[in-house]
A and B are shown apart, each in its own frame.
Chain A
Amino acid sequence: MDLRSKGERVFDGILAVFMVIISFLAIYPLWYVIIASFSSSNAINEGRVFFFINEFNLSSYEEVFQTKNIIIAYGNTFFYSIFGTLLSMVLTLLAAYPLSKKRMHFRKLFATIMLITMWFGAGMMPTYINIRNLGLLNTRTGILLHGCMSTFYVILARTFFEAIPEELEESVKLDGGSDWQVFLNISLPLSKAMIATLTLYYFVGRWNSFFWSMILLTDADKIPLQVLLKKLVVEMNANYSQAATIDYSTMSRETMVYATIVISIIPMIIIYPFIQKYFVSGVMIGAVKG
């Protein structure tokens, strides 16, 4: 039985329509990129692409997959994202577990060392000089190591470990088990939700990062896709600056940029339905601890 008054029903209807419009605005830019990447340069050039593919063709994708730089950069992105996330997770979990043990001495000291960095950092140039002095400039190792830990995620993981009942640890210890065994056999298996959340946070962060990769890498064969895209995007902008001289060749470049964007977001779009609940739960864990 519908208890709503007539006015309320009208309100609900209008609200629903409004929300559909908002959702449309949220995804339209991405939708546009996808349809534009499959449309002809001509159609885009003449402003005929709005909601659907116009003059379907795959030439921009052919171009993308024939450009060696893009393929290499794509591979690099996978490399940095997978191994970077792995490294981040190992360091983060190994740091968070001891921090969750109140009996450990110097726990406060270790926590403080990490927390201070949330408040104050050395800044861009000192960080750059440090990496140069370590000999990590223009190296893959440098990219993997730079910014590989996030204090915020360490706190998230620690909070999660703290909630695991101590009795479980004691039972392993009574059987002569070590801290490693407790960590590997009790704490990790019980923290699957947290591990999934952090892995996804780190992975998306790595996948999307470009700023420090752009600064630290100079070799074209080491840069990730985002840095290459940045070059293409900035070039596109520079082309517009000389709007009068725009010609057909620069427009075909634009569909190529769209195609590159599409291949760079495909993995994200594929995992998005799966990660959505974890991202939400991650924000919740963070919110609860404030």
Chain B
Amino acid sequence: MNEKTSFFISRKKHIREVVRDKQLYFMILPAIIWYIVFLYLPMYGIQIAFKDYSVFKGITGSAWVGLKHFRDFFGGVYAWRTIRNTLLINIYQLLTVFPLTIILALLLNELRYKKLKSVVQTMIYLPHFISAVIVAGLVISFLSPEAGIINSIIAMFGGEKIYFLIKPEYFRAIYITMGGWQGIGFGTILYTSALCSIDSELYQAASIDGAGRFKRLIHITIPGLMPTIAIMLILRMGSMLSSGTATIILLYQPITYETADTIGTFVYRSGLIENNFSLSTAVGLFEGVVSFILVLGTNILSKKVGEISLW
């Protein structure tokens, strides 16, 4: 049998197999159509980053302007401000929320009272399920200069009431605290499940050798958790340019833009509030491409570290 006939035979076989599996293709068809229409079709519109988009001329009809919008953005005052704010929020989160999640998971693991432990878990997971709007609403009313509970406490101790949300110097702390309240408890789940998989014989052997609880924590628990920590850290690196746009727009005001305006909020504001579609798309494309590179890089890194890839 020469190559050509074997090619035709295998081709026939393939077609037969496709026909055999036709129901499988019917099943997946709606999803593929959805992906193409709602996620790939919009990519055609990315070209307006290089055009002066006008609603009347449409995507195709608008005039090409090359890199004008990128030059405008990177030449203007907003580029440095938004990139700096985005990175700072992420770095501060990495320095606070990230380790606190691990510490809370370790403490939870040390908790001896089983009933209490499950009650605590139920409570600390809860904030994760509260919507961004409600959380922002809570922050606003708690920090309210008039009747907010924080200011009531400050006043009780004879302090001066502060209107926190109009002070740029407080914004990042407020935002990160809010994110921490919502995320730290739920974030422990992953570490808790990793802790479950540590061999309990190791602990028994260590006890017999006379290792106390603290020694066991240092020599068994934390090393056992290291791979998970490494993976989480690496994955976190992939999202250094993202920030909770939807939440920030609820909390910031022009007076706090100096510290609160991030790449995401700039994309939102320039596009949907100021109707500068092309500039918004250009900045969004910049964010998308850098994030893409970060995710690719971190995925390669995590494969090397833990032999676990993103999928």
| B-binding residues in A (CB < 8 A) | 8, 11-12, 15-16, 18-20, 22-27, 29-30, 32-33, 44-47, 50, 90-92, 94-95, 97-99, 101, 103-105, 110, 113-115, 117-130, 134, 145-149, 154-155, 178-180, 183, 204, 207-211, 215, 226, 229-230, 232-234, 236-237, 240-241, 243, 246, 251, 254, 257-258, 261, 264-265, 268, 272-273, 276, 279-280, 283-284, 287, 289-290
Q: A126-B45, A128-B272, A283-B190 are known contacts; what are 8 more A-B pairs with Cβ within 8 Å? A: A23-B124, A126-B46, A126-B284, A145-B38, A254-B141, A261-B134, A268-B130, A284-B189
| A265: chain B residues within 8 A (beta carbon) | 130, 134
Query: In the docked arrangement, what's the CA distance between A265 and B127, Å?
Result: 11
List the interface of chain B (C-beta within 8 A of A): 14, 17-18, 21, 23-25, 27-28, 30-32, 34-46, 48, 59, 104, 107-108, 110-113, 116-117, 119-120, 122-127, 129-134, 136-138, 140-142, 144-147, 149, 152, 155, 163, 165-166, 181, 185, 189-190, 193-194, 213, 231, 245-246, 250-251, 253, 267-268, 271-272, 277, 280-281, 284-285, 287-288, 292, 295-296, 306, 308-311
Residue of A97, A147, A284 near B193 (CB, 8 A) is A284
B97 → chain A, closest Cβ, in Å? 14
| Bound form: Cα–Cα A92–B31 in Å | 7
State whether B122 touches A276 (Cβ < 8 A): yes
Q: B193–A25 contact, CB under 8 A?
A: no
Cβ–Cβ contact B43 & A126, under 8 A = yes
Name B277's closest neighbour in chain A (CB-CB). A125
Give the 9 A-B CB pairs with smallest separation, nearest first.
A126-B45, A123-B284, A95-B31, A208-B131, A122-B42, A47-B152, A23-B123, A290-B308, A130-B42
- Which of B24, B124, B130, B147 makes the CB contact (< 8 A) with A45? B147
B28, B146, B245: which has the most chain A beta carbons within 10 Å?
B28
The distance from the CB of B68 to the nearest CB of chain A, in whole angstroms, is 16
Report the minimum CB–CB distance from B234 to chain A (whole Å).
11
Interface centre among A25, A27, A121, A134 (most CB of B within 10 A): A121
Contact B193 A204 (CB under 8 A): no
The reply to whether A19 and B120 form a contact with Cβ atoms under 8 Å apart is yes
**Nearest neighbor of B143 in chain A, beta-carbon distance:** A240
Contact indicator B31/A94 (Cβ below 8 Å): yes
Q: Interface on chain A toward B: helix, strand, loop, or mixed SS?
A: helix
Main secondary structure of the interface of B (DSSP, over half): helix
Check A125 against B280 for contact (C-beta < 8 Å). yes
B271 touches A124 (CB 8 A): yes
B281 touches A94 (CB 8 A): no
Q: A47-B155, A124-B280, A230-B250 are in contact. Are A215 and B272 (CB under 8 A)?
A: yes
Q: A47-B147, A95-B27, A117-B35 are in contact. Are A272 and B272 (CB under 8 A)?
A: no
In the complex the two chains form, is B123's CB within 8 Å of A26's CB? yes
Closest residue of chain A to B308 (Cβ to Cβ) is: A290
B residues less than 8 Å from A12 (CB atoms): 111-113
B111 touches A101 (CB 8 A): no
**How many angstroms from the CA of A99 to the CA of B28 in the assembled complex?**
8
Chain A nearest CB: distance from B50 CB in Å?
A: 12
Q: Which residues of B contact A50 (CB under 8 A)?
A: 149
Smallest CB separation, B173 vs chain A (Å)? 16
Chain B residue nearest to A207 (CB atoms) is B131
Provide the bound-state CA to CA distance between A265 and B24, in Å.
40
B35–A229 touching, CB < 8 Å: no
Nearest chain B CB to A256 CB, angstrom units? 12
